[in-house]
Amino acid sequence: MKYLIIFSIFLFLFLSAFSCTLKKTPNSARFYTVGEKYYFGGVDLKQGPNTPYDRIPREEVSNHKTYFEVVFNRKQLVRSLRFIVKDNVIWSAEYTYHDNGIVKSRVWTEDGDKRTRYYSENGKFLRDN
């Protein structure tokens, strides 16, 4: 009986620690379907590609005046991003990636103007077009 109690406590602690580890894993709680649109309340503009946060459920998008529409690729990286204010697209960005997951190019469209930026495999800016 004593060993059963000790084993039960050990098992409980082990499973608790394992579940906490899973919750801390960035991709464990999310998987985005390739090509499907997802909506977010914000985007971290300091990172490239811009990283979305504060996901908005599809059925609640109409309640928001501003939001970001995001499409992910097979590697769960941002493929396209659109900033929308009152149903009007203010700007959009399209991304391609090197094999290592670093941004290869970003096409930024705003007010009808397109600007393309190219980056090296280690993320350094190369040139504009």
In a domain, 97, yes or no: yes
Residue 6 lies in a domain: no
What pTM value is reported for the model? 0.72
Considering the domain boundaries, does residue 28 fall inside one?
no
> 59-94: buried (b, 16+ CB within 10 Å) or exposed (e) per residue?
eeeeeeeebbbbbbeeeebbbbbbbbeeeeeeebbb
> What is the number of domains present in the chain?
1
Q: Is residue 29 part of a domain?
A: no
Residue 8: pLDDT above 80? no
Find the domain containing 80 and state its range.
37-128
20 found inside a domain: no
Domain annotation covers residue 93: yes
In-domain check, residue 57: yes
Angle at 57 between CA 56 and CA 60, to 5 degrees: 85
CATH of the domain at 106: 2.40.128
pLDDT, tens digit, 9 for 90 and up, residues 52-84: 999 999 999 999 999 999 999 999 999 999 999
The more confident residue out of 96 and 13 is: 96
Residue 16 within a domain: no
22 falls in which pLDDT band (50, 70, 90)? very low
